[in-house]
Structure 1
Amino acid sequence: MTPHPPLTPFPWHDCLLLIALIAFNGLFAMSELAIISSRRPKLEAMAKTRKGASAALALSAHPGRFLSTMQVGITGISTLAGAVSGETLGGPIGERLAAMDVPNAMAWGFTVAIVVTTYFSLIAGELVPKQIALKAPEQIAAFTAIPVLWLSRLTAPAVWLLDKSSALVFHLAGMTREAHNQVTAEEVRLTITEAFQAGVIEENERQIISGVIRLADRPVREIMTPRTEVGWLDMEADIPTLSKNLASMPHSRMPVAIGSVDNIIGVVHSRDIVRVLMRGEKLDIKRLMRPAPIVPDQTTVMAALDSLRLAEVPLGLVHDEYGHFEGVVAPADLLAAMSGHFVSDVEGRNDPSIIEDKEGHYILSGSLSADQMADKLGFELDEDRDYATVAGFALSVLRHLPKIGEYFTSNGWLFEILDITGHKIEKVGVSKADGENREEN
């Protein structure tokens, strides 16, 4: 057997150089993903105390130049790493394989060097750094942004060339490089749902936040107390009648009208009336009245809230486009629409808006918000709908005033009219529709 020639010393210093290159590659990969994933509001808050956050904001403001800088760094390091692994490690590894009588030892040596280098480059130079970046993007972006900014200045000519070249490609393709960072309401709702599922927020918090988003652009007529349910005082009534009506009012602020609820002239606070009666003074409702703001029925909920904040009396009189009185809106209506009615505000206290049995069947009040119904049953309503309650939803589907026992299916649910008073739908039963249910009306 021919003796093997003596082995050349293994280039451990080149191994250290390769490890350093992989580490730098990981730093670039981590910095790139961290800056891209960082939330701008959080970086702006950190920028007050950390220069690195300001540098990260400067980089993210020009994504084309930033990505070009990162590509220059990563490509340069990858090229050096490939050269080191192939030229300086392939030969020594091949010699040692040849000493073990491995066929094609030199070819295998280069293969082993490239495979091992690629493996560690993927793990230590890409995957692990990027996973770290996703865990704390803003902190890592602030830590690495200043060195990246220096690199951007050092490699300015190459960065400029790459940036302009990519801009030219976008132009030829008829595309724009400007990012559209608009957040839709649906994305916010999905984020809230994810936060709830992750245990970050509680169910009642989710309902309130979702309620605010849902109601922001909805018309005020969807949350108002309708005309037929408005309690009011007749200014022409005598003291015994006023006292009786006052005792039956569910709210402290009451509309005052002359003869009819359609002729409201102001609002009076119950405590002002009680104060006058306790002093034994003559009750003059007109003197105690205060003007109430007029709110068009298509005003958004948030705009109505602003009007109530600025008004002398936080009770708005809702009118339609023809000037007809439709109902009243108060801060309590806004709160109830977001978080649900309070037990003390529900007439009779034994008539909840939603009743659910063990089999998953529901009895819904006709005056229940259509949005609350949709949330409970798990489906979406049309944004351009012209109804606000469960009763309105039923009428929009049936297209006529139904009779007790009439039914229809919608969104996988069977709805049945359970109770009607006059022309008003009071109760609707809801159960899951299946193949055996009756056909849709």
Structure 2
Amino acid sequence: MGFTQQILLIVLLVGISAFFSVSEISVAASRKSRLAVLAESGDEGAARVLALQARPGPFFTLVQIGLNGVAIMGGIVGEGAFSPWLTEFLGPMLPEAYLDSVAFTLSFVLVTSLFILFADLMPKRLSMASPERLASAIAGPMILLIRWLQPLLWLYNGAADLLFRLLGVPTARNDTVTPDEIIAVVEAGAQAGVLAEQEHAMIENVFGLEVRSAPSAMTLRESVVFFTLEESEESIRQKITSRPFNRFPVCDGSIDHVVGYVDAKDLLNRVLAGQSLSMKADAPINPLLALPDSLTLSEVLERLREARDDFAVIINEYALVVGVITLNDIIRALVGDDVEQVQEEQILRRDDNSWLVDGATAAADLMRVLDIDDGGGSEHYETVAGFMMYHLRKIPRRTDRVDFAGYRFEVLDVDNHRIDQLLVSRLDGATGEISGEG
């Protein structure tokens, strides 16, 4: 075989190796969701790639046979093509004792470099850039080769499966998509400009409903406006005038003894009809849904849907009312309005490095504003006051402080063991470790 023919054969082997490299990376890197969309739109190549991904054993066996076989042949042909030429070229410059060794080494380096550059690096980087398009293009030829070489592939693939079973290694691909993976895809879409910032935030909030607890979005006990069965009509009128809500809980003496709720529209109809607003005077009291405070917002939404209602009272493990929640509260958590409201009403920014925070602020909202991770401690508390009690391990007093994740949380005001206000300051050169002082 002449030198020119050997060079052409090497080029052909490099091309074959590049084809297998493109096949391997493009099929492995292709996103199943993207392929499914293309297949539904009539792309036969995408459907073939999905078939290869469903049964990857024969495909990757063929790829490895091709890559290894071509590499061995490339080394044999390359050494035979370049060594004589390099020996002749270097003959006048090197002693004869070293000539063959140097020529062989240079031939090996030259052939290896050709395969690394043109059959490995460039094809694989190209495949990573557009895996679905390239995988769709090579799927047909690869399926044809798999059919032709079925006995050989069955032999190698069967041997590999047998070894995996003996070693107890699972080979089934896990295609389960987690919420974190979906959020990562959404963030990538937002960075690429495919999703608007509002859409990005809303999708993240949808998954946030699964982890946020009911108390993080409810109206706290201290802010609930309720009527008692013994309450005077004048007092009821004053409450409606000062706090014009749509629903008002009705209690027997205290807020912990809820008997139902009244709708503001029903009260208006009674006023227009000249009837008394007193809860004793045959008031239209409706049953009120009671939910435990351990539920997530997603679970609360499901319970409201099942009850066909949009208002519920939240009760803790001691049967005490901790707040009320409405469908609008969950919608605000979904669209993000609650965060803006918290920032305006409960988290007041003093300057670039400090904030005044209401003790009743949901801890998750403050952590989101400060962009810090509470390390999974949120399961032990709901509010910033609970955060302080958890880390201090005592009832907080004025000037007590906690250093956490690069911030200092200092108690400014306490009312009957209840934290009214904190000062949150950014620490310089903080390590993010937790420390408490009292």
Distance 1:310 1:254 in 2: 21
Task: Say which of 79, 83, 102 aligns to 2:76.
Answer: 83
Deviations 1:209-229 (A, max 9, x none): 444434413432343222222
Q: Does 1:120 align with 2:114?
A: yes
What value does the CA root-mean-square deviation take over the aligned residues? 3.5
TM-superposed CA distance for 1:280, in Å, is 5.3
Contact 2:213 2:296 in 1 (8 A): yes
Aligned to 1:16: 8
SS of 1:408's equivalent?
strand
CA–CA distance in structure 1, aligned partners of residues 278 and 46 of structure 2: 65
Aligned residue identity for 2:251: A
CA drift at 1:416:
1.0
Q: Is the 8 A contact 1:35 1:137 kept in 2?
A: yes
Q: Is the 8 A contact 2:413 2:421 kept in 1?
A: yes
Q: Among 31, 37, 40, which residue is 1:39 paired with?
A: 31
1:68 and 2:34 matched: no
Correspondence 1:148 to 2:142: yes
Distance 1:194 1:103, change over 3 A: farther
Aligned residues: 428
Alignment-derived partner of residue 334 in structure 1: 330
Deviations 1:337-387 (A, max 9, x none): 4525377x67xxx96222233341222221222122223151233257221
1:314 is matched with: 310
Change in Cα spacing, 1:301 to 1:178, as seen in structure 2 (3 Å) is same
- AA aligned to 1:312 is R
Aligned mates of 1:353, 1:205 — CA distance in 2? 25
Q: Which residue of 1 aligns with 2:46?
A: 53
Following superposition, the deviation at residue 207 of structure 1 comes to 5.1
Equivalence for 2:290: 294
Identity %: 28
> How far apart, in 2, do the equivalents of 1:284 and 1:43 lie?
65
Deviations 1:102-154 (A, max 9, x none): 66566655544433332222122111111121122222222222222222222
SS at match of 1:400: coil
| Structure 2 counterpart SS, 1:262 | coil
> Is the CA contact (8 Å cut-off) linking 2:364 and 2:378 kept in structure 1?
no
- The residue number in structure 1 matching 2:22 is 30
Match for 2:28: what amino acid? Answer: I
What letter corresponds to residue 440 of structure 1 in structure 2?
E
Counterpart-to-counterpart distance in 2, 1:342 and 1:222: 11
Q: Which of 232, 235, 238 is the matching residue for 1:244?
A: 238
Cα distance between partner residues in 2 of 1:193 and 1:250: 40
> Aligned match of 1:414 in 408, 413, 430?
408
* TM-score, reference length from structure 2: 0.83
- CA change 1:207–1:356 in 2 (3 A) is farther
Q: Is the 8 A contact 2:401 2:436 kept in 1?
A: no
Partners of 1:72 and 1:90 lie apart in 2 by: 27
Q: Distance in 2 between matches of 1:82 and 1:438?
A: 63
Q: State the 1:330 CA deviation.
A: 1.6
2:58–2:157 CA contact under 8 A, matched in 1: yes
Query: 1:413, 1:433 within 8 Å by CA — same for their partners in 2?
Result: yes
The answer on 1:358 being equivalent to 2:351 is yes
Structure 2: how far apart are the matches of 1:19 and 1:288?
Answer: 88
**Do the aligned residues in 1 keep the contact of 2:293 with 2:314 (CA within 8 Å)?**
yes
Query: Residue 415 of structure 1: SS of its match in structure 2?
Result: strand
Deviation of 1:301 after TM superposition, in Å, equals 1.9
- Distance in 2 separating the partners of 1:421 and 1:331: 31
Q: Could you tell me whether the CA contact under 8 Å between 1:415 and 1:429 is conserved in 2?
A: yes
Question: Which residue identity does 1:52 align to in structure 2?
Answer: G
Measure how far apart 1:284 and its partner are.
Answer: 8.5
Give the match's secondary structure for 2:245. Answer: coil
Gaps of 5+ in 1: 1-7
Distance 1:200 1:131 in 2: 24
Match of 1:176 in 2: 170
Q: Does 1:440 align with 2:437?
A: yes
Query: Residues 221 and 323 of structure 2 are in contact (CA less than 8 Å); yes or no, is this contact kept in structure 1?
Result: yes
User: 1:266 Cα deviation (Å)?
Assistant: 2.8
Structure 2 gaps, min length 5: none
Which is further off, 197-206 or 392-401?
A: 197-206
Aligned residue runs from structure 1 range 110-259, under 5 A: 110-182=104-176, 208-234=202-228, 237-249=231-243, 251-259=245-253
283-292 vs 417-426, which moves further: 283-292
Change (3 A) 1:304 1:253: same
* Cα distance in 1 between the residues matched to 2:417 and 2:437: 23
Distance 1:379 1:245 in 2: 40
CA distance in 1, matches of 2:199, 2:361: 20
TM value normalised by structure 1: 0.82
Q: Hey, what's the Cα distance between the residues in 2 that align with 1:16 and 1:167?
A: 38
Greater alpha carbon shift after TM alignment, 83-92 vs 410-419? 83-92
**Cα gap change, 1:380 to 1:264, in 2 (>3 Å):** same
Q: Is the 8 A contact 1:413 1:430 kept in 2?
A: yes
